[in-house]
């Protein structure tokens, strides 16, 4: 009996330790705003934990993985232009031996669309990479769905 309690306690500690090692320094949220009868803007917000940064869509080759948006083709809408981002911080990073563009705290990306009806469901993915002053996490791809009403 004592042996099984000890084994259960050890596995519980290992599980808790493993869970605490999973870093998720970025949280994504999404919204849409109608801007006309058949137009809307999709807002894609990244909230970034203190000490971490998210890279811009505009990073030169040889640097970190840039943030990339992929929108699933649909008969409900079409993209108007490219995904916009605010002005990024530009800083030289020794890790990549180059100037890189990134965001801290939070950033809102915007994509204009034209709808083919009164409503649309915009689906896609965002791939991104985050780093702090000690480490970079592997790139992560997150799916999103945004209802335009």
Q: How far apart are CA 139 and CA 128, in angstroms?
A: 5
pLDDT, average across residues 90-107 = 96
Indicate whether 106 pLDDT > 80: yes
pLDDT, average across residues 83-97 = 95
Q: How far apart are CA 79 and CA 113, in angstroms?
A: 4
Using DSSP's 3-state secondary structure scheme, residue 98 falls into strand
Residues in the chain: 149
Determine the pLDDT at residue 61: 94
CATH number of 25-148: 2.60.40.1250
Cα 87 → chain centroid: 17
* CA dist list (Å): 12 to 1, 22, 116, 147: 17, 16, 53, 41
- The ranges assigned to domains in the chain are 25-148
pTM: 0.84
Indicate whether 18 pLDDT > 90: no
pLDDT, average across residues 32-37 = 96
Torsion angles phi and psi, residue 17, rounded to 5: -65, -45
Average pLDDT score over the chain: 89
Q: How far apart are CA 8 and CA 59, in angstroms?
A: 48
Q: How far apart are CA 93 and CA 73, in angstroms?
A: 36
Indicate whether 86 pLDDT > 50: yes
């Amino acid at each position: 009996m004592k042996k099984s309690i000890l084994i259960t306690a050890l596995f519980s500690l290992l599980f808790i330790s493993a869970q605490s090692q999973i870093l998720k320094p970025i949280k994504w949220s999404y919204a849409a705003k109608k801007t006309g009868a058949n137009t809307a803007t999709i807002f894609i917000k990244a909230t970034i934990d203190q000490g971490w940064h998210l890279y811009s869509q505009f990073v030169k080759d040889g640097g970190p993985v840039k943030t990339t948006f992929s929108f699933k083709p649909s008969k409900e809408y079409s993209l108007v232009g490219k995904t916009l981002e605010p002005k990024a911080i530009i800083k030289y990073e020794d890790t990549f031996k180059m100037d890189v563009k990134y965001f801290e705290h939070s950033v809102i990306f915007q994509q204009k669309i034209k709808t083919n009806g009164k409503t649309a469901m915009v689906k896609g993915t965002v791939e991104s990479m985050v780093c702090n002053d000690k480490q970079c996490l592997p790139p992560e791809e997150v799916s999103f769905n945004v209802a335009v009403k």
